[in-house]
Structure 1
């Protein structure tokens, strides 16, 4: 915690559980498809369902190939969606 003294010999905090699913709507990156950014939609068996940020067909991916999108990746995906919307390509 902030402001707490931590002994150098104390164990480091546990890393986040990779099996925990993100909240629906969270932007994630599919590393098996060239770092494609998608919106997490839910779990389908052993796979996670993702949807393109700008709309389109959902795809499924193994959770081991998914990571949270970096802030710059989130910004790019949202800007691309806004540009498509301004051109009338998506609602």
Structure 2
């Protein structure tokens, strides 16, 4: 997953195992590909949803 936000569930060797913040399927990524989420990273999904809702008249 590229650009995904996840909660670190475990670390094994050089890989992190992450899960979406509100649950879902776990995935793994190399330690070198992981960084702390910025404020912008955290609010982007909610902003995208609000923009979609406003452009579709409230229907998703």
**TM norm. shorter chain > 0.5:** yes
Offset, 1:67: 1.2
Gaps of 5+ in 1: 1-32, 80-91
Max radius of gyration: which structure?
1
Query: When you count helix as a share of all residues, which structure comes out higher?
Result: 2
Q: RMSD value over aligned CA atoms?
A: 2.0
Q: Can you give the 5+ residue segments of structure 2 that lack an aligned partner in the other structure?
A: 47-60
TM-score relative to the length of structure 1: 0.43
The answer on 1:71 being equivalent to 2:59 is no
Match of 2:18, SS?
A: strand
1:58 maps to: 26
Aligned length: 47
Q: Which runs of 4+ in 1 moved over 3 A?
A: none
